[in-house]
Amino acid sequence: MIEFEAFINWLTSIISENLYPGVFLAALIETVFPPIPSEAVFPVAGYSILKNEMSAFHIIGVGIIGGCGATVGAFGIYIISKKLGRAGLIKYLKYAKIKEKNLEKTDQWFEKYGDKAVFIGRLIPGIREIVSIPAGIFNMNPIKFLIFTLAGSCIWSIALTSVGYYFGVVTLGIF
């Protein structure tokens, strides 16, 4: 547990000291390693924007960079899922701390909503981290996957960055 906290502290310092590259790296890492919550990454970035007296416009820039980092990570998972297939992935899920039950739920959701599941899934905690797996398994068109993943990831990242900025404003009493 201490090692995980140290890792989160390291990630937070990277974001604070190197906002755009730090957010890209953090978003990529949090997409590939689900135990790292984006709910911790982007609000820190929003607060850093405020603390460094940057304009609110940077919320959008940071959100887009975060969406790009998440998309790179998600595409890696998509490719691996596509190559290994469902049977190959099941034996590795425990290492990624993903329960087979969660993957089954995501599979059903993907079958029901098709390609839109990737876009919508990138906006829902718990699903956003694993929606790339059924997309790869079900051989979703890679261009569609990238577009839907980028769009959903950018919206998610901008929203969470806005939350960090807003609560920083409220906490610091800046209006």
Q: pLDDT exceeding 70 applies to what percent of the chain?
A: 87
d(CA 78, CA 146): 10
d(CA 107, CA 109): 5
User: What is the pLDDT at residue 170?
Assistant: 60
C-alpha triplet 69, 53, 6: angle, nearest 5°: 50
User: What is the pLDDT at residue 109?
Assistant: 75
d(CA 127, CA 30): 13
Mean pLDDT in residue range 33-45? 78
User: What is the pLDDT at residue 94?
Assistant: 66
Which residue shows structure tokens 């996957």? 145
Given a cut of 80, whether residue 84 has pLDDT beyond it is: yes
Measured in degrees and rounded to the nearest 5, phi and psi for residue 135 equal -60, -40
114: alpha, beta or left, given left = phi > 0 and alpha = psi -120 to 50?
left
pLDDT-based confidence at residue 171 (cuts at 50, 70, 90): low
pLDDT tens-digit readout, 134-157: 899 888 999 999 999 999 999 999
Given a cut of 90, whether residue 57 has pLDDT beyond it is: yes
Which residue shows structure tokens 């098709």? 114
More confident residue, 82 or 91: 82
- In 25-36, which positions are buried (b, 16+ CB within 10 angstroms) versus exposed (e)? bbbbbbbbebeb
Record the pTM. 0.83
User: What is the pLDDT at residue 60?
Assistant: 97
Of residues 72, 73, 91, 89, the one with CA closest to residue 106:
89
Helix axes of 38-51 and 58-90: crossing angle, nearest 10 degrees: 160
d(CA 8, CA 10): 5
Q: Where are the domains of the chain?
A: 2-172
User: What is the pLDDT at residue 175?
Assistant: 42
